[in-house]
Amino acid sequence: MGNRYKAYNIKVQDNSVAIIGWEEGHAGRIETWLEKVHNYHIACFINPSDTPFNIDLSKIKRDVSQFSYPTENEFKNKPILNTSQWADSLKKIGINKALVTIDDPKKRYEEICYAKENNLELINAIHPTAYLMADVLIKENVIIHEHSHIGYRTELNDGVIVDGACLGHHNVIKDCSQLVTGAILGGNVSIGRFTTVYLGAIIKNRI
């Protein structure tokens, strides 16, 4: 049963989750499908900083007509909290699930460690069009975006983001690495932690 936590104006349910981060490329995209696919309720976003937003949209030039930016207290019509001690805030309002979506791999790792230290449950986010073959091992806070291919017995460690890449069999992707659209990995490939494999990269077997 939902309740309204007045101090933060956040609606909390049994299946509520907080999304840590506000970047449109990850947090914004995930917001469009996470609730439908995984039966979570996105209660709020978190900016893991004590500095409030000060975004001057008049100075930002983009060709695309649709792009979401956070205001002082809202992102994509949901509350956003600005606090480095976000685990304490979530506990106070009764949320024990989080998903860290920050693009910077080392910062993502730091926030994942912070969540674990505070005994928060880190969820995974897997888009319904992603294809996972048999015996894939997925750790915590793994994000798999649309049309990604995860090969047989591949292992995705904490904080990994696969964004439209194609991974072969028996790959090991270590903590907080990211593989982006068009990247192709052969079989038996290991990717070290904090690594980003960019657009169109091809990595042969046993690298």
Residues 115 and 43 in one domain: yes
In a shared domain, residues 164 and 110? no
Q: What is the pLDDT of residues 149-198, one digit of tens each?
A: 999 999 999 999 999 999 999 999 999 999 999 999 999 999 999 999 99
Domain count, the chain: 2
pLDDT of 66 higher than 50: yes
What pTM was computed for the model? 0.93
- DSSP-assigned states of every residue in 50-116: SSPP---GGG---S-S------SSEETTEEEEE-TTHHHHHHHHT--EEEE--SSHHHHHHHHHHHH
| pLDDT (tens digit per residue) in 78-131 | 999 999 999 999 999 999 999 999 999 999 999 999 999 999 999 999 999 999
CA–CA distance from 91 to each of 1, 4, 98, 202 (Å)?
17, 14, 11, 43
Residue with tokens 């319904």: 128
Indicate if 186 and 161 belong to the same structural domain.
yes
One domain, residues 141 and 106? no
Provide φ and ψ at 139, rounded to 5°.
-85, -135
User: Both 14 and 104 in a single domain?
Assistant: yes
Q: What is the pLDDT of residue 112?
A: 98
For the record, the structure tokens of 190 come out as 């290991």
Query: Domain check: are 57 and 135 in the same one?
Result: no
> 122, 144, 167 — which closes off a domain?
122
